[in-house]
A and B are shown apart, each in its own frame.
Chain A
Amino acid sequence: MNPAADQKRSADEPIIAVKGLEKSFKLTTVLDGIDLEVAHGQIVGYIGPNGAGKTTTVKILIGMLGDFNGAVSVCGFDVARDPIEVKRRVGYVPETAALYDALTPGEFLQFVGRIHGMGSEETERRARAMLGLFDLEDKFDHRMSSFSKGMRQKVLIVAGLIHNPDLIVMDEPLTGLDANSAVVVKEILSGLAQRGKTIFYCSHVMDVVERVCDRIIILNKGKIIADGSFEELQAGARGASLEHLFTELTSEGRHGTTARRFIDIFDAFDDADNVDSAERAP
């Protein structure tokens, strides 16, 4: 592999190029024709309601899911043909904070680093430095079974960044983090983007996406229904928050009715309680 040629190719091409991506599990269509290009150094927010296909897209992008229709190229490699090459260059922070509890962060990160071909001294140095910034230095040799959700999430973030990937794919990375750590992560993301890293950020938390991402893609029922900077998405409705835009686009105006019907059920509760206490009173 020639690094110079690699560099040249990646500078010309988009780091993510998706054409006509379709994916279905058994009978349900999850992704229904996704077209998408992401340039180097962008922070892309990928949002959508539950079941829209966000996590599936992510798994395809990082080479975890192989059988799909369409052409997907990441970091200049075809995901279907060269998943290993893609995985070498991608850092992934998964949505579920699932880890082998019996391991210590040190042992887990050591494993990840060595699979990425790093030496154990280098891995340990990086792991200690990064965990130290997350206040986990003293937990380095403690089993993760006693860790809180936020602590696990920090370990996962470090695991996703430890091999210095070109593309960072994150699925709800701030889950369980306290406000301070969340701020640190957001600043890390901005800093990494300035250094030319690309970040693909999946989330439900609209205000984070609104502030951190310079491009927002909204997915609904397996299709991209909006794509652009926050300002571009606002074009129709000036001053609206992303949350407002999102519900407008994805719920087809139903959210108002759902809430109203929920409140109606409560009225029925009150009536029943009145009858109940009237019965019990004598």
Chain B
Amino acid sequence: MTGAVLWIVRRFGWLLSISGIDRRQFEAILRAKLTLDDRRSLSGLYGPGKKANRALLYTFIFYLFIGVIVGSSLLLIESPLASMTIFFTFLMIMVGMSLIADFTNVLFDTADNTILLARPVDGRTLLAARIAHVSVYLVIHAFGLAACTFITGTIAVHPLFAPLFAVMLLLSLCIVVFLVHLFYLVTMRLFDVDRFRDIIVYFQIALSLAVFGAFQVLPRLVDMSDVDSLRIDDSWAVWVWPPAWIAAPFDLLAGHVGPLQIVLTVAAVVFPITGLILVVRLLAPGFSRTLSDGEKERVKSSSKSPAVSKRGRPSRGLRRLRGPDREERALYDLIRLLLSRDRSFKLATYPSFAIVLFIACHPLYAGAGSFADTLENLSRTKNHFYLLYCPCVLVPTALFQVRYSKHYQAAWIYAALPLTRTGAVVMATLKAVMFRLVAPFFGALSLIVLALWGLGALPDIILAAMILSLFSFVCASGLGWELPFSRQRIARDAGGQSAKMILFVFLVLLVGGAHFSLTFVPFGVTGGSILIGLVCVLFYRNISRRTWRVPTAAAAEM
């Protein structure tokens, strides 16, 4: 892919030469940037940390695929204004989000400043290379998403569809660039560097959910019976929703000429061009200055940034729960803090939390008929098992991810400090993951179950909670003992574990089934709770008393 892109860029070499750009340097910079892109992991497409060698090509194919799914779904809608609005909404959101999610690190990477600014490269060449780089990225995403619609539209709609589509696609990308630019300016003005990076992580999480949604939700939406006659002309929203403006000319092409279409078409042309001029004239200079100030800016903004707020000391009872001795409590507090702040951990686990929530709540919205009817019917089923056992799926994922960190080298601290019980490390990690992540999730689902099924479901909730704890002990043992936040993410690590993950999920199904059958035995659920509770205590003691030396190889690396 890099080769192909550079071949195309080379065709425009004459253009660069007249603009006073050093072609050799331009190509060298662009090649380096694209090579790095090719080896970057992309959110939404791969899990974080997996190494890819041809990321650009795979991204293109992947977006092509999504484009086919979305594009073919929209063929059913008759009104071009409606279908093209949906299409461009989707395209602009996807491109904008992936720009923020994947490209921010590239834009804000000041490492190349130390390499390039020390070399005889002039600003014009550098700027051209940067623009070319962003353009290549935009084009790969947008063309991938749009290819299917472009082809079907040209065949099915009108011969003029193709040129119009191409122009509108470029205009829509201008809007995306303008809005993303505004987003950066506003967030950089309002937040310090750390908060800014956190926001980017949430965008990355949102992107992977959007990809999930594109596969799950859109086809379902289109299955709705009245979608083919969907109209949006009379909605006030078209006036403020840029994708609707981009879609308006297609309505004109279909012969629907009216004041609405004409005004929107004018907006579709004027807005992106003004936006682009604003970016180039007013916004970009300040923006680039902020970027090139890199290091200075970081220190400055960190001194401005508010201090981390401290919480009050937890009550005595809560302190007991964190651990029996000072050592385990110290470890628990450390891991709890890291869990709530490690970005790569959030990136690796939060999407699966959202997806599991989506799946867990499936019975709530899947029924035919009105929402109230669905809930009414639901309380007569035994579907609350489904809700209660879904959180189990998260346990192995979270426990598996907690061993990874970008700052894995900082794990020397476990080996250098006089830790007497290694079981304390395992227990502290397990507790931090369960209390901070899984328990709130389980609690929320339990509340839903209580609200719908009433107090009668309480014994089931208690047994499910017991089994959840037991399951966490089993997972912790099954995944092997590892220090938290002590390993670098490498792709090959994941291979052997996915088999275990499937095994764990299977185990959940088995235990859930056993729980279900216990409901037919008098006092079965109560008895089960007591029994499982006892087994949990045994596991707890066994794990906390465990000692194992920090593996020598790990210590040597640290």
| A residues in contact (CB < 8 Å) with B | 25, 56, 59, 62, 64-67, 84-85, 87-88, 92, 94, 96, 98-104, 107, 110-112, 114-117, 140-143, 145-146, 148
Contact = CB atoms under 8 A, between A and B. Distances in A.
Nearest to B412: A94
Contacts of B550: 64
A112 B418 contact: no
Contacts of A145: 193-194
A107 B556 contact: no
Contacts of A141: 307-308, 310
A65 B327 contact: no
A141 B302 CA distance: 11
12 contacts: A64-B550, A67-B552, A94-B416, A98-B412, A99-B410, A100-B405, A107-B337, A111-B334, A114-B330, A115-B417, A141-B308, A146-B193
Contacts of B485: 100
A281 B95 CA distance: 48
A114 B326 contact: yes
Nearest to A90: B416
A99 B407 CA distance: 7
Interface in B392-420: 405, 407, 409-410, 412-413, 415-420
A142 B329 CA distance: 22
Given A65-B555, A102-B337, A141-B307, A146 B302 contact: yes
A101 B407 contact: yes
B307 A111 contact: no
Which of B331, B334, B416, B420 is packed against the most chain A CB atoms within 10 Å? B416
Contacts of B194: 143, 145-146
Contacts of A116: 417-418
B409 A84 contact: no
The number of chain B residues touching the other chain, given as a range, is 35 or more
B341 interface: yes
A59 B299 CA distance: 34
A99 B410 CA distance: 4
A186 B2 CA distance: 52
Interface in B167-213: 193-194
B429 to A, nearest CB: 14
Contact of A143 (B301, B308, B413): B308
**Closest 3 interchain pairs by CB?**
A146-B302, A102-B341, A98-B409
A65 B556 contact: yes
Contacts of A25: 556
A111 B520 CA distance: 50
Given A142-B308, A148-B299, A92 B410 contact: no
A98 B485 CA distance: 12
Contacts of A143: 194, 308, 341
Contact of B418 (A59, A67, A115, A148): A115
B220 interface: no
Contact of B555 (A64, A88, A112): A64
Nearest to A102: B341
Contacts of A98: 407, 409-410, 412, 558
Q: Which of B302, B338, B415, B418 has the largest number of chain A CB atoms within 10 A? A: B418
Nearest to B193: A146
B333 interface: yes
A110 to B, nearest CB: 8
Nearest to A159: B413
A145 B308 CA distance: 12
Nearest to A114: B330
Contacts of A148: 299
Nearest to B302: A146
Contacts of B331: 111, 115
B305, B329, B330, most chain A CB atoms within 10 A? B330
A81 B415 CA distance: 15
Contacts of B410: 98-101
Main SS at interface, chain A: loop
A84 B418 contact: yes
A141 B410 CA distance: 19
A115 B326 CA distance: 7
B549 interface: yes
B419 A84 contact: yes
Interface in B310-365: 310, 326-327, 329-331, 333-334, 337-338, 341-342
A146 B341 CA distance: 14
Contacts of A65: 552, 555-556
A164 B360 CA distance: 53
A99 B26 CA distance: 38
A114 B337 CA distance: 15
A35 to B, nearest CB: 23
Contacts of A59: 555-556
Nearest to A146: B302
Contacts of B436: none
A145 B194 CA distance: 8
Contact of B333 (A84, A85, A100, A111): A111
B298 interface: yes
A117 B556 contact: no
B332 to A, nearest CB: 10
Given A98-B412, A102-B342, A143-B308, A87 B549 contact: no
Contacts of A112: 413, 417
Contact of B308 (A87, A104, A110, A111): A104
B407 A100 contact: yes
Contacts of B302: 142, 146
Interface string B15-32: 000000000000000000
Interface in B520-558: 549-550, 552, 555-556, 558
Nearest to A142: B307
B308 A115 contact: no
Given A115-B418, A146-B302, 8 more contacts: A66-B555, A85-B418, A100-B334, A104-B307, A112-B417, A140-B307, A142-B305, A143-B341
Contacts of A67: 552
Contact of B298 (A117, A140, A146): A146
A64 B310 CA distance: 33
A110 B330 CA distance: 8
Nearest to B406: A101
A169 to B, nearest CB: 9
Contacts of A87: 416-418
B552 A96 contact: no
Contacts of B417: 87, 112, 115-116
A213 B326 CA distance: 37
Nearest to B420: A84
A254 B351 CA distance: 57
A156 B176 CA distance: 45
B338 A100 contact: yes
A128 to B, nearest CB: 13
Contact of B409 (A64, A96, A103, A107): A96
Contacts of B327: 114-115
A56 B193 CA distance: 37
Given A84-B419, A87-B418, A111 B338 contact: no
A231 to B, nearest CB: 34
Contacts of B333: 107, 110-111
A248 to B, nearest CB: 31
A1 B504 CA distance: 47
Contacts of B334: 100, 103, 107, 111
Q: Which one of B327, B331, B342, B552 has the highest number of Cβ atoms from chain A below 10 Å of its Cβ?
A: B552
A56 B330 CA distance: 28
